[in-house]
């Protein structure tokens, strides 16, 4: 029986529908059936409310970090899976390990002012041995956001504005796994300071350049195998939304039987990870697909916006709209005739047990951008290939689905 069940699980895995691992209880009766065991390159992901319970359209996974070269390890859940950033960042308050901070040639500690559109995080760049599923990366740089020994945020960092996201509550996750289509979180920080990397002597920190080997990498690129990209697989979600949904994060593209490209359409992205989406007859050159965005963000002044406090930038049409979209890669490949729904945000959020909303949409402050967030991934198998890495259907950076 057990062998049969394992076989079925493996078959499901190969079909890459909802392959997961870890955390499954073996004693509770079905339904629902426990997730199949993780294979070497697959880990479970979940779209739930996150550590604060109020996240929407935010996909999480678990990672295991160890003090380099040791068996002193910790598994941390609710790490956000983000194809729109680079690097593993863990919130200091949830980290029980003491990871060694990288030191520069002058003996100073390396830290980073991590900038997001809505705010910033601050913390040292340490080293850890990382394991996700059976993939491992030795001594990979990871940021410890809000580390208790690095509490003084440089003035130049806080001057970038917005919210200081140095706590789990402010960050909305226990960490973030940045696995977008590039290798590093900065293009040229080895030769130019961008207000990102800092050299710290005690609490005195100054901007610095830093060798690429010490910068924050997309950790997938540091795996011993399956390191050319990822495939994120999420189930289709009912239009009105759904309670937590589970999916799979598969490492590698065309490296194993479960991550073959097949007939996927390959859209290459530019140096800023951008695609060209055409909505309502207008080409939007700053568009992107991003698992780390929680809505479909685009500008259409004809769609009614919500009037409720805190929701005025989200759409609240009287009835659900079905709209058309085309997406063009930088390689000229065009995907036409896609449709997406825009529902009433206020009504959707009224169901507080729901965490996945395929039709949650809001205005985009940049009229030349269409940001298709996690909703794009529902019901799809989306591959993200890293720059310069080859697969059977092309060379990264690309997105394929």
Partner 1 sequence: MRRFRSADSRVLAVLGLVLVAALGPCTAFATLGEPELTVQNDVAQLRASVKSSQTRLSYRVHEIQLPSGTLLREYVGANGNVFAVAWQGTSKPDLRQALGRYFDVYVAAPRSKIVDRKHMQIQQGDLVIEGSGHMRALSGRAFLASAIPSGVNLGDLN
| Binding footprint of partner 1 on the chain (CB under 8 A) | 56, 58, 82, 84-86, 115-119, 155-156, 158-163, 165, 172, 178, 180, 182, 185-188, 192-196, 272-274, 286, 288, 290, 292-295, 297, 308-314, 345, 349, 360, 362-369, 371, 373
Q: How far is the CB of 67 from partner 1 (least distance, A)?
A: 27
For partner 1, the closer of residues 245 and 393 by Cβ is: 245
CB of 201 to partner 1, least distance (A): 22
State which residue, 77 or 116, has the beta carbon closest to partner 1: 116
Query: What is the rounded CA–CA span in Å between residue 292 and residue 371?
Result: 10
Nearest distance, CB of residue 185 and partner 1, angstroms: 6
- Count Cβ atoms below 10 Å from residue 238 Cβ, excluding itself: 13
For the record, the structure tokens of 322 come out as 């079905």
- Closest distance of CB 8 from partner 1, Å: 37
What's the CA gap between 123 and 145, in Å, rounded?
A: 4
Nearer to partner 1, 92 or 180 (CB): 180
Number of Cβ within a 10 Å radius of residue 134: 16
- Collapse the DSSP code of 30 into the 3-class scheme (helix H, G, I; strand E, B; otherwise coil) and give the result: coil
- Among 108, 81, 99, CA closest to 177: 81
Residue closer to partner 1 by CB (options 13, 205) is 205
Q: Please, which residue, 39 or 114, has the CB nearer to partner 1? A: 114
- Residue (259 or 291) nearer to partner 1, CB: 291
Interatomic CA distance for residues 394 and 391, integer angstroms: 5
Shortest separation between residue 163's beta carbon and partner 1, angstroms: 7
In the complex, minimum distance from the CB of residue 328 to partner 1, in angstroms, rounded to a whole number: 18
Residue 179 C-beta: closest distance to partner 1, Å: 11
Q: Residue 266: which of 370, 364, 389 has the closest Cα?
A: 389
Count of Cβ atoms closer than 10 Å to residue 319 Cβ? 6
Which of 202, 365 has the CB closer to partner 1? 365
What is the rounded distance in angstroms from the CA atom of residue 86 to the CA atom of residue 241? 29
Q: Between β-strands 175-179 and 73-82, what pairing exists: parallel, antiparallel or unpaired?
A: parallel
Q: What is the DSSP letter of 99?
A: P
In the bound complex, what is the minimum distance in angstroms from residue 161's beta carbon to partner 1? 4
CA atoms within 13 A on the CB side of 40: 13
What's the CA gap between 329 and 387, in Å, rounded?
14
User: Which of 288, 234, 251, 289 has the alpha carbon at shortest distance from 391?
Assistant: 251
Nearer to partner 1, 56 or 94 (CB): 56
230 closest CA partner among 397, 9, 50, 52: 397
């Amino acid at each position: 029986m057990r062998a049969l069940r394992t076989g079925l699980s493996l078959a499901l895995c190969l079909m890459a529908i909802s392959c997961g691992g870890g955390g499954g209880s073996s004693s509770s009766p079905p339904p629902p059936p426990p997730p199949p065991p993780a294979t070497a390159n697959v880990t479970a992901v979940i779209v739930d409310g996150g550590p604060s319970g109020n996240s929407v359209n935010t996909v999480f996974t678990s990672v295991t970090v160890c003090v380099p070269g040791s068996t002193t390890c910790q598994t941390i859940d609710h790490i956000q899976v983000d194809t729109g950033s680079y690097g593993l960042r863990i919130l200091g308050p949830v980290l029980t390990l003491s990871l060694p901070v990288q030191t520069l040639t002058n003996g100073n500690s390396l830290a980073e002012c991590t900038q997001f559109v809505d705010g910033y995080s601050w913390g040292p760049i340490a080293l850890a041995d990382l394991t996700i599923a059976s993939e491992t990366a030795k001594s990979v740089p990871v940021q410890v956001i809000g580390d208790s020994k690095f509490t003084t945020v440089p003035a130049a960092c806080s001057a970038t504005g917005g919210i200081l996201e140095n706590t789990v509550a402010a960050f909305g996750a226990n960490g973030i796994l940045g696995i977008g289509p590039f290798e590093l979180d900065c293009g040229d920080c080895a030769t130019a300071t961008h207000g990102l990397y800092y050299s710290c002597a005690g609490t005195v920190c100054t901007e610095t350049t830093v060798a690429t080997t010490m910068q924050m990498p997309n950790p997938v690129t540091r795996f011993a195998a399956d390191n050319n990209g990822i495939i994120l697989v999420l189930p289709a979600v009912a239009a009105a939304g759904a309670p937590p949904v589970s999916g799979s994060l598969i490492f590698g593209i065309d490296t194993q039987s479960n991550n073959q490209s097949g007939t996927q359409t390959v859209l290459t992205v530019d140096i800023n990870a951008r695609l060209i989406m055409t909505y309502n007859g207008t080409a939007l050159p700053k568009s992107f697909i991003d698992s780390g965005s929680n809505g479909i963000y685009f500008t259409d002044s004809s769609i009614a916006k919500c009037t409720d406090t805190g929701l005025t930038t989200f759409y609240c049409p009287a009835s659900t709209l079905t709209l058309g979209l085309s997406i063009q890669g930088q390689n000229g490949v065009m995907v036409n005739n896609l449709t997406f729904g825009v529902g009433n945000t206020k009504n959707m959020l009224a169901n507080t047990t729901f965490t996945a909303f395929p039709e949650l949409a809001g205005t985009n402050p940049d009229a030349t951008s269409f940001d298709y967030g996690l909703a794009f991934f529902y019901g799809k198998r989306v591959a993200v290939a890293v720059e310069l890495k080859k697969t059977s259907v092309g060379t990264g950076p690309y997105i394929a689905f």
